Chain A
């Protein structure tokens, strides 16, 4: 059954390339094609997830002796793959309506589909080398869609994105080489590939770990390496929503979790300066991201800063280096994805339909766009972590995990998460206020032609908001699944 793993990676890459080769002229045909491809691929992933017990590592190529490219579907892979399998068809449905306004659709969808395959590859990779390859590939393949508009600001954003990502990956590469040299393997083993390092050797490995952490941290937008993410919000919204809130940035967090728990191992790092450094930087990022989001008036950039903050929740959980921390981190990994994609969808709708890019242009919109802003409110409550939405479940896991682990950085982290929740409430509510309570002197005429978008956008929003509440109520099953899957 091992060969199953290759399909979810190859299928979207091939069918993505086909989009350009066929060069669809008929919009309807292309829509059907796109939805079919993504749904089939999600189905393929589902097939892998259901047969995960029968699948073990698939070695399909050796770069050199002892350097295999390998795939497998272990617990973490399944979680990540499941998340993207859920969100990609939804995002494609949204993109179908959105990209009508942007143009250049064939090129866009080519890369959009290929990214699906590459992200799957990253999720299923069984060693650091494979992960690294897909990680670099992901940077390059998403570059054209970040620069899609091909205006000056798009190109500047793309250039920034590539500089940051490649620079970070270089550090990760050094880390990988050192690990390979020291341990002789880069295979993911829960608990780490080293055993019994001591003294200065251990300290050097910790230094290498910190380097790798910040190297991969670029994609997870850890402070001070976050600069590319707000700039990249000039990309079309299906990209910002799916890639810069879920797929690409989660790849960074995913790689970091892999590196901490499966390469270096908590035994080497727990309670050392390296752990404290990671904790401190993620705590700083949590507060920083939320405060910047509060200051930012551009809708999409505000959400981008909020993503920066939330990604660091995951890094914080991962850096706790306890099983509880890992569970919290991965829960937030899944739940934040679902929430943030919804928020970005809303930002994209007002941007492409009414060209409103700033939050203070949205007075009274909630009255007309009932479904859109209803979804925004639900997702906003989720982001704040109000029970019974999913946001609460992961936040609870994180802070109880942190309380259990103890220590100064972890305690400060709890406070940071709570302060950040308050800031989140402020920046989300300021928008909801404007949308629903525009004030006494408001002229209803200005929004007379505002209405909800079409079905391709509405249905994703409805599905996601229902998910946010229903999964929140039944979050214990997901959290249980996650904690069983990784230990």
Chain B
């Protein structure tokens, strides 16, 4: 299915609907509907709802446009619109934090959008077209440098939305301060849109199989994974922990994408796509749950939420299912996708040392995932001390999170059963329809092989170890039997605030502004100078009583020396000099006017001519 609007914006839009796009459209629609229902409930009796709803619908529509885009321009346009309108969710609550986060989000979006535009120009310039299908045909034979540069630029744009390492600085802040349904949609769909963009750029520009590109993505993926998990373990804010967990999971997905590039034939494709869908569902459920907690208590601080969920079975179930699935525990869908990605990574690691290291990081970060989810779970549901002031039950809001959580549970729990099905005959039809998910691969995967069991066990052991030996001892202070969740990281671990901001907002503007101001005034200075010089009015002389200024000055000096002005009866030098000057001047005038002077000058001239002629 394709749709063209050839003259739109002088480049033309085109849409295509095929396997993967339809699949993700389905997922997005599902999330959108659930979040809409939740938002309607969540925003009840709050001001400025219209603003939210407009941006909500426009963002969803542009996400759909982005998913179905058949060329890079369509992609870019909807991506930009999506970035701008989703910023309204972050700004919506109008708190100081939201204001700050919204600005950071918009700045990064705009900057990376422009980088992406440059990528677009390069694609157009190098290959003459922006159409994805045509590009796929052309790029296979093009030079590497022509493909790599635009791929990097495009991926900077997409990567910013996904929150890839170095461009992730906005993410924890924006997710934490955005309005709850917005956070859910940002984390569930918009970040995936970024990932899809990166997959698209690498495959369309013929970089699948390219080792440099693959390794770059692998390193970035591993860094994102670790940074996200690290931030999640250390902080004491419910929503921020979940937000950082999103960051970490994007890192896992990016690692999967890297494996896709490094080993095109392997399990990575299916694993990554599955993990994207899983993460979408899990984060929808979690952020809705977090939102419902906030709606009832007005806080995200773990210290104030201790034991909040004791009498809330739905909330408890949602957190349990999502946490276990994120950590990749057997029986939950996260287990499937994570292990498929891990297997793909291990396959790559056979030839690449880097992938080997990342594989270890993968396992450890999986443990960290378990650790922070455990920390949240124990704090919310096992601790004592929540003083319930408001009505404790909020089933109305929690219930929305139940639906995606259940689907996570069901797909995971029922999975061993599927493996028994005669997969090939039944599923080949699905495979054609969806085009991208290789179900045979999924069903053929040995989930209970020895390596999978061992890595899962290691991961769980790391997670438990971290929680009990590190978090419990170092991060949680014990105050007379009451646990206090500390903010583990010192404040300076905020690369946005203490690195990017000073460089981009203070240092560079200062330098540029200094130079600019200097030159701004340059022409004015030149003009000022010329005006002073050219239009200079004649200097006003002090009126001199007698004579000219020279005789006056000389006379005054002489008077001072001889003290003549003090003596009565003597004519002062000023007067006599003036008189003398006048007499000489009159004499000079007379001479000037006389004929003899002219004759004299004429003869002088003649003599000089004579001398010149003689000695030439």
Contacts and interface: CB of A to CB of B under 8 A. Distances in A.
Pairing of A with B: yes
Interface of A: 163-164, 223-227, 287-288, 291-292, 294-295, 381, 384-388, 392-393, 396-397, 399-400, 403-404, 414-415, 418-419, 421-422, 425-426, 429, 433, 437-440, 472-477, 479
Given A400-B124, A437-B99, A163 B527 contact: yes
Most chain-B Cβ atoms within 10 A of its Cβ — which of A164, A404, A429?
Answer: A429
B106 A291 contact: no
A438 B10 CA distance: 37
B520 A227 contact: yes
A473 B8 contact: yes
B9 interface: yes
A425 B110 contact: yes
B141 interface: no
B115 A386 contact: no
A294 to B, nearest CB: 7
10 contacts: A227-B523, A291-B509, A291-B512, A399-B118, A399-B121, A400-B125, A426-B107, A437-B99, A473-B8, A476-B12
B77 interface: yes
Contacts of A479: 10
Nearest to B96: A440
Contacts of A399: 117-118, 121
A422 B110 contact: yes
Contact of B94 (A403, A440, A473): A440
B490 to A, nearest CB: 27
A288 B114 contact: no
Contact of B516 (A227, A291, A387, A477): A291
Interface in B83-125: 84, 91, 94-96, 99, 102-103, 106-107, 110-111, 114-115, 117-118, 121-122, 124-125
Given A475-B10, A476-B9, A479-B10, A414 B121 contact: yes
Q: Would you call the interface of chain A mostly helix, strand, loop, or mixed?
A: helix
A439 B94 CA distance: 5
Contacts of A227: 520-521, 523-524
A94 to B, nearest CB: 28
Contact of B10 (A225, A288, A393): A393
Most chain-B Cβ atoms within 10 A of its Cβ — which of A288, A437, A439?
Answer: A437
A311 to B, nearest CB: 16
Contacts of B81: 386
Contact of B118 (A226, A385, A415, A429): A415
Contact of B523 (A225, A386, A472, A475): A225
B7 interface: yes
B106 to A, nearest CB: 6
B457 interface: no
Contacts of A421: 110, 114, 117
A439 B7 contact: no
B34 to A, nearest CB: 28
A387 B9 contact: yes
Given A223-B519, A224-B519, A437-B102, A387 B76 contact: yes
Contact of B103 (A224, A422, A433): A433
Nearest to A442: B94
A400 B94 contact: no
| Size bracket, chain B contacts | 35 or more
Contacts of A392: 9
Given A426-B107, A475-B9, A476-B10, A403 B519 contact: no
A472 B519 CA distance: 36
B74 to A, nearest CB: 9
A418 to B, nearest CB: 4
Contact of B95 (A164, A224, A295, A440): A440
B11 interface: yes
A129 B483 CA distance: 87
Given A227-B523, A437-B99, A295 B114 contact: no
A404 to B, nearest CB: 6
B107 A403 contact: no
A295 B9 contact: no
A437 B524 contact: no
Nearest to B526: A224
A381 B80 CA distance: 11
Nearest to B106: A429
Interface in B1-34: 7-12
Contacts of B524: 227
Contacts of B114: 418-419, 421-422
A414 B77 CA distance: 19
Contacts of B96: 439-440
B121 A439 contact: no
A292 B513 CA distance: 7
B522 interface: yes
A291 B9 contact: no
Given A393-B10, A422-B111, A437-B91, A403 B509 contact: no
A387 to B, nearest CB: 4
Given A384-B110, A387-B76, A403 B124 contact: yes
A291 B513 contact: yes
Interface in B564-599: none
Interface string B109-148: 0110011011001101100000000000000000000000
Contacts of A425: 106-107, 110
B110 A292 contact: no
A272 B300 CA distance: 64
A438 B234 CA distance: 33
Nearest to A331: B10
B506 to A, nearest CB: 13
Contacts of B509: 291, 294-295
Contacts of B91: 433, 437
Contacts of B527: 163
Contacts of B521: 227
Contacts of A476: 7-12
A21 B91 CA distance: 56
Nearest to B76: A387
Contact of A473 (B9, B106, B111, B516): B9
B110 A396 contact: no
Nearest to A472: B9
A412 to B, nearest CB: 12
A474 B11 CA distance: 10
Nearest to B12: A476
Contacts of A403: 121-122, 124-125
A326 to B, nearest CB: 16
Contacts of A287: 512
A437 B9 contact: no
A426 B505 CA distance: 11
Given A403-B124, A414-B121, A440-B95, A386 B84 contact: yes
A304 to B, nearest CB: 12
B91 to A, nearest CB: 5
Contacts of A426: 107, 110
A477 B7 contact: yes
Contacts of B125: 400, 403-404
Contacts of A291: 509, 512-513, 516
Given A225-B523, A433-B103, A474 B516 contact: no
A371 B10 CA distance: 28
Interface in B65-85: 73, 76-77, 80-81, 84
Contacts of B111: 422
Which 9 pairs show the lowest CB-CB distances between chains A and B? A476-B10, A403-B125, A387-B77, A425-B110, A476-B7, A418-B114, A475-B10, A393-B10, A224-B523
A429 B87 CA distance: 11
Nearest to A479: B10
A292 B111 CA distance: 18
B122 A288 contact: no
Nearest to A223: B519
Given A429-B103, A476-B8, 19 more contacts: A225-B523, A292-B513, A295-B509, A385-B117, A388-B8, A396-B11, A397-B10, A399-B121, A414-B121, A418-B117, A418-B118, A421-B114, A425-B110, A426-B110, A433-B91, A437-B94, A439-B94, A473-B8, A476-B11
